Every structure is written in structure tokens, then in C-alpha cells.
Amino acid sequence: MDSAAFLTRNVVDALPAGELERKLALGRQLRVKLGLDPTSADIHLGHTVVLQKLREFQDLGHRVVLIVGDYTARVGDPSGRSKTRPVVSAEEIEHNLRTYQEQAMTILRDDPDLLEVRRNSEWLDMPISDFFALARNATVAQILERDDFAKRWQAREPITILELLYPLLQGYDSVAVRADVELGGTDQKFNLLLARDIQRAYGVPEQCVITMPLLVGTDGTEKMSKTLGNYIGVTDPPEEMYGKTLSVPDETMGTWASLLGVDLDPGLGPRDAKHALARALVERFHGPEAAAAAAEHFERVFVRRDVPEDIEESSFTPANGTVHVPALIAEVFGGSRSEARRLLAQGGVKVDGSPLGPDEQDVPAERLDGAILQVGKRRFRRLRRAG
């Protein structure tokens, strides 16, 4: 298989037709760009679909240019959105920027000859005259042709001026780093193609555009997203990653295996295939010993119905002899109190194996001291009264 065929074997688009072949025929190291806006703290498996394709370019000797969008994150990518993204603070962006880069390195080769990491604040913090020149490279009508903008316009949903400018800013990234190739999900196709127009306007050779399929989340219907809660993070604990993978609907298993680069024995039934996929993913991000332990944990807790042997302890301080369970869950496991109340209403909270009812939000401290708190199927904590 030649290089172009190898690199495009599981992509949706490689545009314009024949452009990647022409770039590869130049006989030099290509600059392959991916932009990530650090609007949340962690990378999930959906991000790894594109990251793995970047790794394939690296393995062929090409240079990945990873742009962490500390400026574009302040705007918020409107792609696939039905409303304006919430504003992310500068402190959050800085924190997320570090975690994004660290987690991307679980897939990419951290080799200075094959990897360049940039912040787009390096060039987007530009004089206003330069910004005016950039803004002249697209019309409002052109931007509103985007499917997501068109739907919001018809629904009379607000569209900010900043959102309209986002594709121009992302396109200028390609000018600044002189990208030969840019990768993204299918929801990025408009932005990636517009970048070619902007490169041409600035006299920079136009990039080839490669779009990758969007990984469906654990619900089997929507794109994997932290907002929707249907995601698996690359830093999720091994047991959590293993269990979440087993919740994926049978009909999406083939797509998951293909997009995540896991070779499954075609003779396996759905159950065994899921366990094989779960084990492969945990091994990829946590190692073979963690994968074996996660498989054993699942067997012990959910097949044999045993409680884990080693459970982390957490202390609590009662108020007037009682403990407010939603606040305790939020403190111990993270998340919000409203989410904890929802779990209580669904019977998803247990104390020593017995479900708490939706009205049992304030529990006597004596009942919890030394007890095992279970939230959902995979989270356990042994409770101790402080002092």
C-alpha cells in the first residue's frame, strides 16, 4: 500500500482530490496541522481518532504541528453547535492547555523533529490593521452558508460576531504555520476548506484537507462529547474506562474498533468483542497490568457481585448528627449536587449494598461511619467520620 492509500484508508474526505498525493510527491517533510481549543480539561476517545491519524503521518516521517488554541478558545468553535458556547476564563484555558498537551502525548511521538506545539496567541494577538485585512477575506453570506449557522439563523438563535469570525481565525493559523495538510472531524470541513482561501489570499501554498469520522459516544447515537456525558476520557481510571466501554451498544462496536485502531477477532461474539475492545483500550492508556486488573475488577464486582478489595477512604463531618448525601457525593466523587440528586432518584446510590431512596438525602452519621458508599456501578468509597 502506498503512502497516500495508507493515510486515507479510513478518512471521510481528502480534498481536493489528488492533492495529498501531490503533496507527498514533493519529497519533503510535510507540515500536518491539528488545532485543539482547550475549552475543557481532558481529551476523550473521540479526539484520539484524529490524533492517531497524525501519528501515522509522524510514522512516515512528517512533522505534526499541534496548535493549542489559547486565543480561539476565547471565541468558542461554533461547529456543530445549536447555540453560543459559554465563555471560558483565561485561567481555565491555561490549565486545560497543559492537560491537553500532556494527554495528546499518549498518542503522538514527542520527537522535536516530528512534533511542533504552538499557541495561536503567538500570531492572533495582531494589530487591528492586520485584523481588518484578515476580516476582508470572507463575506457574511459565505459564513452563513455553514449548516450550523444556517440552522441557528432560521431558528432565530443568537449568533455573535465573534463566532462569525472564528473560521477566519482558524484559517489564519494555517497561514502562520504554513500548513501543508490540516486534519479535523467532519464537523470541521467548512473551517478547513476556508483556510485554503485564506492561505491563497496571503500567498501561502494551499493545504490539503483531511476529515475524519466523528466517534459516536457511549450512548450509540450522539457524537462523543463531555457536554453530553457520553464520553470516555483518556485519563479515566482503568476500571471506569473498562466499564464504560462495555456499555457501548452492540451495533456501534465495529465502528469503534475501526476508528480507534483496535483489531478484533471477527469470530468473537458481541460480549467477547466488547471485553476485547475494553481490554485493548485500557492497555493502550494504562498498560497491560492495569488492563488485566480492570477485567478482573469487572468480573468480581459485576459478574460475581463482589465489592472491590481495596477501596479508598474518605472522611465526612456531620452537621447536627446527619450528612447531606448530595453534598457528600459531590465532594467525594466530583460533579454537582443536582447530578447526585438525580442518581438518588434513579436508585444509583447505595450504602453497604442497599439503595438509598430519592427522599433519603439527609442520613444519620452513624449509618455512614465505616459504610461503603457506592455511586453508579463502578465508584466505591469507604466512609469515615472525621475526628
pLDDT band at 86 (very low <50, low <70, confident <90, very high): low
| pLDDT reported for residue 32 | 98
| pLDDT reported for residue 87 | 64
- Domain covering 3-212 assigned CATH 3.40.50.620 in the classification: yes
The pLDDT mean for the chain works out to: 87
| pLDDT reported for residue 230 | 84
pLDDT band at 220 (very low <50, low <70, confident <90, very high): confident
Q: How far apart are CA 225 and CA 237, in angstroms?
A: 18
Q: How far apart are CA 113 and CA 126, in angstroms?
A: 28
| pLDDT reported for residue 81 | 47
- Provide the b/e sequence for 242-274 (b: ≥16 CB within 10 Å): bbbbeebeeebbeebbebbbbebeeeeeeeebb
Structural domain spans, the chain: 3-212, 238-303, 313-385
Confidence check: pLDDT of 78 > 70: no
pLDDT band at 37 (very low <50, low <70, confident <90, very high): confident
Higher pLDDT, 84 or 349: 349
Confidence check: pLDDT of 2 > 70: yes
For the chain, helix, strand, coil in percent to 5 are 45, 15, 40
- Region at 58 (left for phi over 0; alpha for psi -120 to 50; beta for the rest): alpha
Q: Give all strands (DSSP E) within the chain, no chain letters.
A: 13-15, 31-36, 63-68, 115-119, 181-185, 208-212, 313-316, 322-324, 349-351, 354-355, 362-364, 372-375, 379-385
| pLDDT reported for residue 372 | 83
Laid out side by side, the sheet with 181-185 consists of 13-15, 208-212, 181-185, 31-36, 63-68, 115-119
| pLDDT reported for residue 320 | 83
What is the crossing angle of helices 128-135 and 161-177, to 10°?
100
Please report, for residues 3, 29, 201, 336, the alpha-carbon distance to residue 59 in angstroms, rounded to integers and kept in the order given: 11, 12, 32, 42
Highest mean pLDDT pick, 32-41, 114-123, 366-375: 114-123
List residues bridging with 31 in a β-sheet: 63
| pLDDT reported for residue 354 | 73
Are 72 and 37 in contact by the 8 Å Cβ rule? The answer is: yes
Backbone angles phi, psi at 372, to 5 degrees: -100, 120
| pLDDT reported for residue 158 | 82
Query: What is the per-residue pLDDT across 106-159, written as a single tens digit (0 to 9) for each?
Result: 899 999 999 999 999 999 999 999 999 999 998 888 888 777 777 887 888 888
- For the chain, give the percent of residues with pLDDT over 90: 42
Question: Whole-model pTM?
Answer: 0.74
**CA dihedral sign of residues 71, 72, 73, 75:** positive
Is 34 strand, coil or helix?
strand
313-385: CATH, from 3.40.50.300, 2.40.70.10, 3.10.290.10, 3.40.640.10? 3.10.290.10
Q: State mean pLDDT over 321-334.
A: 89
Higher pLDDT, 342 or 287: 287
Is 362 strand, coil or helix?
strand
Query: What is the per-residue pLDDT across 152-178, written as a single tens digit (0 to 9) for each?
Result: 878 888 888 888 888 999 999 999 999
Query: What is the per-residue pLDDT across 182-215, written as a single tens digit (0 to 9) for each?
Result: 999 998 898 999 999 999 999 999 999 999 999 9
| pLDDT reported for residue 343 | 86
Cell of 264: 478484533
| pLDDT reported for residue 302 | 66
- For the chain, give the percent of residues with pLDDT over 70: 95
The total of other beta-carbon atoms located within 10 Å of residue 75's CB is 23
Of 64, 81, 71, 185, the closest CA to residue 134 belongs to 71
Is 94 strand, coil or helix?
helix
Q: State mean pLDDT over 1-10.
A: 91
Confidence check: pLDDT of 253 > 70: yes
Q: State mean pLDDT over 258-285.
A: 90
